[in-house]
Structure 1
Amino acid sequence: MSALLKNVTNCIWHAFDSLQNKDVVHKSKLKVLTANIGTLLDLYGVEKGLDHYKSSAELTFEEFKHYLQHEVFSSQPKTTTLQVVREYETKISEVCWLVCRKHHLSRDKPVFDDESVFKLFRIFCLLADLVQDADAADRYVVVLQPSEAGIVAEQLVHCLGLRWDAADWEALGVSIGHFKWPAFLAVLEAKYCCEQLHAAALVEAVDEIYDVFIEDIIKKGYLFKRGYLLPTMREYWCVLQPCALTYYKSSAQKEQCGRIAIDEYCSVEAAAGEGKIQRFQLVTPERTFEFGTQDHKSRLQWVSALKQAAAVSGGAEGYQRRARAGRRGAGARREREARETRARLQHEVRARLAAEAQAQELAELAQQDNKKLEELKTTQTELERLLQEETQAKRDEEIVRALQARVLAEEWERREELERLQEEQNRMLEEERLKRKQFEILQAEKEAQYREAEKRLKELEEEKRRLDQELKAAQQKISKTDHTAKALHVQLRGLKPAVLRSCDRSRRAVSFMPTTKSSSDTLIDVRAIHCKVFDDDDNL
């Protein structure tokens, strides 16, 4: 956890500075601060070691820092996530601010409220350096470079909607030099903020730069996001950091709806879409997320921001700290190059002076050393030729750069053409999906009709079986009736004439009965058969 101690050293120094008396602090006061820091790190009793650390009752900041490094922060795991480190930084900064806030909040005409001052304090501690005091070699002081202070002031001015004057700030930085915390706060309040500005605007501006420097927020705003289960585009308030994209229901950032982890394996691609929404895709190792914006400019800004977040997602140090280190490295390189340039110019001046002295000597000895003069003329001619060649090389380089610019423009046009072809291909695929869907619907209708026909066929077969059974029953009934008629015919042959006459009357009575399709048809047919039998007997 040496990185954590490095990140919070400036805050601890301000707390130490508010407690010190002649560059030292009594151990009893440091015990309270150490106990609070240990409690935040889930370490208890770490302040007891101060009694046995050093024989003196007071400690300098260097000694107190050494104790914290070896007795407190060394107990923490060496590897931890960036989110945990940020939480520890916030808590330790709050403890240090509680110790030193009385010294930093007391001013004549305050413009920022206490919460905004604390946020500016954290930004100052993030960008400042702990250096040795020029007056005392064993004393340390936290100062902010004018260039770093100018970055904060410029962003604050832009957030307030004011005009930034870089030349004025450069002159101010030259006059002040390195900024200490009271001077930095006084300059912001007196020069760039005034009492006429609305308090809410000041709070919002400070929150904006706090999000940029402390929370490492690269970009935030509204985005449309396609749902995972329902393919609809819903609008969310999105906050982009180097390691994650978090989206909320509103800009208040109270109800978090989701969080997408971003690493170096993520990529951003353009997506084809219909309507006014400009779509793009965030491809992660787990899945692909589709987003959209209202216009093309916003989409380009978000795509660029997401690519930047994926590029700087690695590492256990915050994005702004790495950017600050990069600026320091660039400044060191510029200073080194300036020193080299000055040394080269001095060398050239000395060489020119030497050449002039040599030329003067040669002028005095011109008659005696004509050969050396000719050699100098030849050397001058060669130098002129080399200068012409260098000039021509620079011209060739400019031509090559122009050709490269044209090739890049042509490459961009081809890329746009490929994107247009891709969009057209996606549109054709969508039409093919619609045709396939219509074919599936028609096929489903035909299958339904086929099932209905099969059902109707089964019903007809069932009706046929029922009719066949009824026909068979009718045939059996007719057969039984024929058998009964034959038996009656045999019996009637032996009847007496009186019975025959009675049957004849019955036959005549039956002949007058109407013919119907009722259930008595069988009885009528039997009577007719009986009458026929009697007629046959009479004929015999």
Structure 2
Amino acid sequence: MAYLLKNLTNSIWHAFYALQGDTPGIVAKSKLKVLTANFGTLMDLYGVEKGLDDYRSTQWLTFDQFLYYLQNEVFASISDATPMQTCRLLEERIEEICWLVSRKAYADQKHRVFEDRSIYQLFRIFCLLAEMGTHNAESSYLITMHSNEVAQISSQLVTSLGLHWDSSDFAELSAALTAFRFPTFLAVLESKYSGGGTLDTAAVAEAIDDLYQIYVNDVIKKGYLIKKGFLLPTMRYYWFVLQPGKLTYYKDAQQKDPAGVITLNVNCWADAVKDSGKLDKQFILSSPDNKALELVADDHRGRLQWLAALQIAIDHSGDRIGYQRSLAMQRRSMRLAKKQLKEETGMELQHERQARIAAELQARKLEALSREEGAKVQELEEIKLKLERLLEEEKQALQDEEIVRNLQARVLKEEWERREQLEKLQQEQQELLESERLKRLEFEQKQQENELKLQEAAARLEQLESERQGLDAELRSVREKVRQAEGAQILLEAQIVVTRPLRGGERIRRTQSMIPTSKERSDAIEYLKDRVTSTQEDIHPVT
């Protein structure tokens, strides 16, 4: 249960504060392991302190870190199903351990007025009513009790001891003290509100024990009542102790052995009984499970007090936090609300003062303005007309703006379409460029092939030119030979004419056989011409 650790936070802080070394705000893990082991033993959790070695890498812990470890590793074993009586017992035993750790700083001092048990009881009362709040230079937190709570405890103690309570004197004391820590609280009670050591120690111890019963044990009311027996109608005095959820009665006020316990819940009720002779004193306590319990108080006032107390005990029978603790929380909430209301009231008064001054200034201004009001009526009318025109212009401007927005939307749409077209054209252009690049590469390849062919043709041309020149030379030599042959033919013909016919006929024939005929000459000439022509035809296509 989270509320159990919350109830014990103040007590654990005192134990943590007592274990501090030279460095404030931190405690070594070795010391905290002992404290954690004691807590675990009470809850039947053995070895729970060993987890501190693995919890964080430092050898020390702050109070927040230690509280977080307790919440997750120790108090996590307490659930909502845990009986309330078990939780109360655990709370009491854990606070005893915390007191044993921190008592040296509070009880082991000289000239103590209160007994050790009384100091322990005041320690538990202080931890119940104190608040954890203001940051301190020595530690992370400071546990203090509000002056109203100290005044309540002090006044009850003074009243129980039969002394006079001076509220004005306590107001001066609380104004002089900045905060009521436990040493301060203890010193104030010992020095001012316990008789200063002049009263009987037993009486002081009894008064403190009464406070302990009220605040720690949630005793709402206690006293003698007459109880009617269940079996026999006998009336007998018993000492009754009323707490939330139960009414216990004893044979005497020593409260040693209970004679009976009556469980209270929301289904119980208490009513006054109007009977002859007991009109103002008798009342009855009823419940659906138990028989009606007839009780008689000492007087009418006592009966009213017991009836009111029983109703409180019935209403808080299922309260796990505790009756006095809940009352302390309510008082704390009321103090915070009053403080906030006071601050808000102060701010409201300041605002009202400022508003009043502003109203006075405004009234003066209005008085001055009222004199000029008549002259400004016409001006206001003109301003009204101007405002109307401006309103019309503004409406027109809004319409124009709407038109412009539509145009902008249209332009944006067109721009978007153009952008898409441009992207499409860009893509087509890229495709064209790619095709042109491929064509250029093909053209360059063909150009290289043509250049190779041209080089080959040039070489072939040179070869044919050389052949043509050779043929030309051959043709010229052939023509020269033909010319010489013709000259020789003419010469031979001349010789044939002058030669005698008889002897010369035979020699002429032999000579004619050696000289080519005209047909042979013409054939040779034609052959040479054909050779030159074919050579020229071979050269002409290439060029």
TM > 0.5 fold call: yes
| Aligned-partner SS, 1:38 | helix
Q: Give how far 1:159 is off.
A: 0.9
State the Cα deviation string for residues 15-46 of structure 1 (Å, max 9, x = none).
11111121211111111110001001111110
The question of 1:238 aligning with 2:231 is answered no
Matches within 5 A, 1:265-280: 265-275=267-277, 278-280=281-283
Q: Give how far 1:336 is off.
A: 2.2
| Aligned-partner SS, 1:344 | helix
Query: How does the TM-score come out when normalised to structure 1?
Result: 0.66
| Aligned-partner SS, 1:268 | strand
Q: 1:82, 1:317 within 8 Å by CA — same for their partners in 2?
A: no
| Aligned-partner SS, 2:267 | coil
Q: Give how far 1:371 is off.
A: 11
Q: 1:239, 1:247 within 8 Å by CA — same for their partners in 2?
A: yes
Q: Give how far 1:174 is off.
A: 2.0
Q: Give how far 1:360 is off.
A: 2.4
Distance 2:242 2:77 in 1: 33
Task: Pick the aligned partner of 1:74 from 51, 73, 76.
Answer: 76
Which residue does 1:142 correspond to in 2? Answer: 143
Task: Pick the aligned partner of 1:283 from 278, 281, 286.
Answer: 286
Q: Give how far 1:312 is off.
A: 2.1
Task: Pick the aligned partner of 1:227 from 226, 229, 234.
Answer: 229
Matches within 5 A, 1:428-439: none
Matches within 5 A, 1:135-534: 135=137, 139-193=140-194, 194-275=196-277, 278-286=281-289, 287-369=291-373
- Tell me the amino acid that sits aligned with residue 59 of structure 1: L
Please, which runs of 5 or more residues in structure 1 have no aligned partner?
373-540
- Tell me the amino acid that sits aligned with residue 131 of structure 1: G
Q: Give how far 1:124 is off.
A: 0.3
Distance 1:175 1:316 in 2: 37
Q: 1:265, 1:285 within 8 Å by CA — same for their partners in 2?
A: yes
- Tell me the amino acid that sits aligned with residue 342 of structure 1: G
Task: Pick the aligned partner of 2:86 from 80, 84, 87.
Answer: 84
- Report percent identity of matched pairs: 47
TM-aligned CA distance change 1:363 to 1:90, over 3 Å:
same
Q: 2:136, 2:142 within 8 Å by CA — same for their partners in 1?
A: no
State the Cα deviation string for residues 324-343 of structure 1 (Å, max 9, x = none).
11111111221222222222
| Aligned-partner SS, 2:57 | coil
Q: 1:112, 1:203 within 8 Å by CA — same for their partners in 2?
A: yes
TM-aligned CA distance change 1:132 to 1:336, over 3 Å:
closer
Distance 1:167 1:154 in 2: 12
Distance 2:182 2:66 in 1: 21
Which residue does 1:7 correspond to in 2? Answer: 7
State the Cα deviation string for residues 278-316 of structure 1 (Å, max 9, x = none).
211001121211101222221111111111211222321
Q: 2:121, 2:208 within 8 Å by CA — same for their partners in 1?
A: yes
TM-aligned CA distance change 1:175 to 1:203, over 3 Å:
same
Q: Give how far 1:10 is off.
A: 0.9
| Larger-gyration structure (1/2) | 2
| Aligned-partner SS, 1:225 | strand
Distance 2:131 2:83 in 1: 24
Q: Give how far 1:148 is off.
A: 1.4
Q: 1:276, 1:294 within 8 Å by CA — same for their partners in 2?
A: no
- Tell me the amino acid that sits aligned with residue 208 of structure 1: D
Q: Give how far 1:366 is off.
A: 4.9
Of residues 73-82 and 327-336 in structure 1, the stretch that sits farther from structure 2 once superposed is 73-82
Distance 1:70 1:329 in 2: 29
Q: Give how far 1:275 is off.
A: 4.2
Q: 1:120, 1:210 within 8 Å by CA — same for their partners in 2?
A: yes
State the Cα deviation string for residues 82-114 of structure 1 (Å, max 9, x = none).
322211111001111111111111334211000
Cα root mean square deviation, aligned: 1.8
- Tell me the amino acid that sits aligned with residue 233 of structure 1: M
Q: Give how far 1:367 is off.
A: 3.0
State the Cα deviation string for residues 159-197 of structure 1 (Å, max 9, x = none).
111121222222222221321111110011011121111
Distance 2:201 2:135 in 1: 37
Distance 2:129 2:160 in 1: 19
Distance 1:87 1:299 in 2: 32
Of residues 34-43 and 20-29 in structure 1, the stretch that sits farther from structure 2 once superposed is 20-29
Q: 1:362, 1:369 within 8 Å by CA — same for their partners in 2?
A: no
State the Cα deviation string for residues 53-105 of structure 1 (Å, max 9, x = none).
11111111111111111111112223333322211111001111111111111
State the Cα deviation string for residues 234-260 of structure 1 (Å, max 9, x = none).
110000001110000110011211101
Distance 1:266 1:168 in 2: 45
- Tell me the amino acid that sits aligned with residue 105 of structure 2: H
